């Protein structure tokens, strides 16, 4: 665990007692602070009490002048659509509001680093889609290259639960917009921006607020190097803002689908091949077509971003290529569950918005598409003209009928996962892919996207094992 810095003798409050909140509270205590905690859920409060934490109802708290700071878990609204009552009270009392990410960047560097031959580095990855795969791939490449590495943030462990820094190690953080928006300190050595598509708009007051939350990672502290996906206008704008000139190689531009050139530093993928360009010359190339864990052009963009980050650390192209070959992908992200009779089952439950679902639809052919859930802002209009690979859609969720009416393909409303998977399999032929890519949130039927993906996997495995 990383002990929080600069908190000795102070009193802190923690709101939200999930993974990040619990680790933040324990880190503050390890740093010498007195801590009171609260969660609106009774089960979370009971768990905190079993860990010896001081549970205090912050919704009725009045002694805010005694609080040095409020640490907030990422899922709790702090601005839009309205601040949580506890946050509103803290803001009114002028109590600094932060999250565990800000606490991490204030605490990670320690005095004993002077004894290290190679100072530790932090790589932070954000974006709408692909940040989990990109983060995990960077971590995998580092480990394959023999570099000490830890993975945390929006994936894996809470950041304050990380081990204290080791000589030459690299910490890889996946950061959501919720995390970047509130953090009072953001100082990674390398920052990665994958892409931007509409998501979480209610939490950020629209697309501008959403982009501004992502952009903070690059402007608050200023990373030494930035890897920016430029296939959307937002990324192209961000890369331009961060560059002092065309030849400024502090910015590595990344693309999947377009050839990049010029005097700077670029990494792009076209027709299944990754190319690295520096000062107008190609210096490396990797064949991505056989990378089992990186199917489709969207994963090729992830590969380019991870490649750029690792090259910024000085890792050789051949070492990166070998590591990519052994990368198996992530659960719930283009995850191949199994195959029977030439029919393949693929779980992409993490495709919770239209853009990520489209990526999945473009990555496979002859698709029996399982989709639906809580529709997000922006609607499903982006699917128009993009359904050529879909043979039929099987729509689940509370809003299944309305969801199905918006799709330009043959649909059937099944509502529940097991029925959708069974019906899709009964109608499938050899060469088809039964793909879960919901294009919607899961909260109408499941606690999270992982639970939804697990339900799909269980249904698929029953079929594969012969138990329809």
Using one digit for the tens of pLDDT, what is the confidence trace for 182-214?
Answer: 999 999 999 999 998 876 667 777 888 889 889
Could you read off the pLDDT of 113-149 as tens digits, one per residue? Answer: 888 999 999 999 999 888 989 999 999 999 999 999 9
The answer to whether the CB of 191 falls within 8 A of the CB of 183 is no
- Strands 251-256 and 265-270: what pairing? parallel
Neighbours of 176 (CB within 10 A): 23
The answer to whether the CB of 238 falls within 8 A of the CB of 217 is no
The CATH code belonging to domain 11-98 is 3.40.50.720
- Sequence-distant (≥ 6) Cβ neighbours of residue 348 within 8 angstroms: 332, 333, 334, 335, 356, 357, 360, 435, 436, 437
Specify the pLDDT at position 233. Answer: 94
Specify the pLDDT at position 99. Answer: 96
Give all strands (DSSP E) within 199-290, no chain letters: 225-229, 251-256, 265-270, 273-278, 281-287
Specify the pLDDT at position 250. Answer: 95
**pLDDT at residue 468 greater than cutoff 70:** no
* Pick from 10-19, 214-223, 287-296: least confident: 287-296
Please, is 281 exposed, middle or buried when counting C-beta atoms within 10 Å of its C-beta (0-12, 13-18, 19+)? exposed
- Mean pLDDT, residues 355-382: 89
- Mean pLDDT, residues 218-233: 93
The highest-level CATH class for domain 108-325 is: alpha beta
In order of 29, 291, 348, 371, the CA distances from 344 in angstroms are 49, 18, 13, 16
Domain boundaries defined on the chain? 11-98, 108-325, 335-464
Specify the pLDDT at position 467. Answer: 57
* Length of the chain, in residues: 468
d(CA 169, CA 185): 21
In 3D space, the residue among 140, 132, 144 whose CA is nearest the CA of residue 335 turns out to be 132
- Mean pLDDT, residues 429-433: 96
Helix or strand holding residue 381 (H, E) = none
- Mean pLDDT, residues 38-61: 95
Q: How many helices (H) and strands (E) does the chain have?
A: 15, 20
Specify the pLDDT at position 381. Answer: 86
Q: What is the mean pLDDT of the chain?
A: 92
Specify the pLDDT at position 451. Answer: 94
d(CA 86, CA 374): 27
In 3D space, the residue among 170, 168, 164, 180 whose CA is nearest the CA of residue 122 turns out to be 170
- Mean pLDDT, residues 250-261: 94
At the fourth CATH level, the homologous superfamily of domain 335-464 is: Mur ligase, C-terminal domain (3.90.190.20)
Give 180's pLDDT tier (boundaries 50, 70, 90): very high
- Sequence-distant (≥ 6) Cβ neighbours of residue 183 within 8 angstroms: 98, 99, 101, 102, 105, 216, 220
Tokens of 293: 């864990």
């Amino acid at each position: 665990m990383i002990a929080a810095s600069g908190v000795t003798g102070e009193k802190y409050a923690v709101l939200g007692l999930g993974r990040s909140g619990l680790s933040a509270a324990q880190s503050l205590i390890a740093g010498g602070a007195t801590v009171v905690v609260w969660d609106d859920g009774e089960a979370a409060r009971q768990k905190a009490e079993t860990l010896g934490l001081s549970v205090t109802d912050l919704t009725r708290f009045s002694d805010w002048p005694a609080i040095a700071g409020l640490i907030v878990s990422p899922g709790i609204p702090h601005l839009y659509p309205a601040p949580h009552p506890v946050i509103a009270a803290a803001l009114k009392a002028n109590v600094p509001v932060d999250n565990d990410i800000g606490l991490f960047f204030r605490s990670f560097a320690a005095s004993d680093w002077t004894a290290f031959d190679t100072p530790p580095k932090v790589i932070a990855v954000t974006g709408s889609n692909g940040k989990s795969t990109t983060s995990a791939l960077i971590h995998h490449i580092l480990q394959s290259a023999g570099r000490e590495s830890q993975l945390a943030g929006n994936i894996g462990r809470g950041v304050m639960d990380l081990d204290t820094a080791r000589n030459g190690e690299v910490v890889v953080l996946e950061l959501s917009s919720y995390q970047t928006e509130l953090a009072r300190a953001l100082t990674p050595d390398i920052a990665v921006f994958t892409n931007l598509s509409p998501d979480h708009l209610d939490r950020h007051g629209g697309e501008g607020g959403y982009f501004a939350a992502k952009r903070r990672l690059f402007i608050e502290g200023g990373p030494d190097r930035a890897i920016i996906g430029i296939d959307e206008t937002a990324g192209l704008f961000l890369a331009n803002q961060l560059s002092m000139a065309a030849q400024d190689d502090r910015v590595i531009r990344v693309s999947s689908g377009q050839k990049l050139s010029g005097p700077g530093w670029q990494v792009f993928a076209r027709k299944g091949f990754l190319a690295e360009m520096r000062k107008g010359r190609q210096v490396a190339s990797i064949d991505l077509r056989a990378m089992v864990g990186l199917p489709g052009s969207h994963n090729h963009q992830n590969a380019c971003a991870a490649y750029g980050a690792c090259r910024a650390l000085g890792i050789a192209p051949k070492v990166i290529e070998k590591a990519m070959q052994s990368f198996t992908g992530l659960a719930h992200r283009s995850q191949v569950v199994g195959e029977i009779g030439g029919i393949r089952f693929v779980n992409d439950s993490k495709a919770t918005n239209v853009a990520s679902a489209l990526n999945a639809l473009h990555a496979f052919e002859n698709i029996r598409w399982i989709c639906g859930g809580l529709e997000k802002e922006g609607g499903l209009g982006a699917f128009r003209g993009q359904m050529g690979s879909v043979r039929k859609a099987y729509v689940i969720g509370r809003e299944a009928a309305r969801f199905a009416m918006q799709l330009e393909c043959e649909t059937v409303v099944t509502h529940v996962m097991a029925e959708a998977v069974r019906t899709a399999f009964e109608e499938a032929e050899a060469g088809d892919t039964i793909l879960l890519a919901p294009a919607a949130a899961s909260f109408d039927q499941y606690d999270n996207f992982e639970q939804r993906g697990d339900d799909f996997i269980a249904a698929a495995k029953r079929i594969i094992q012969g138990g329809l």
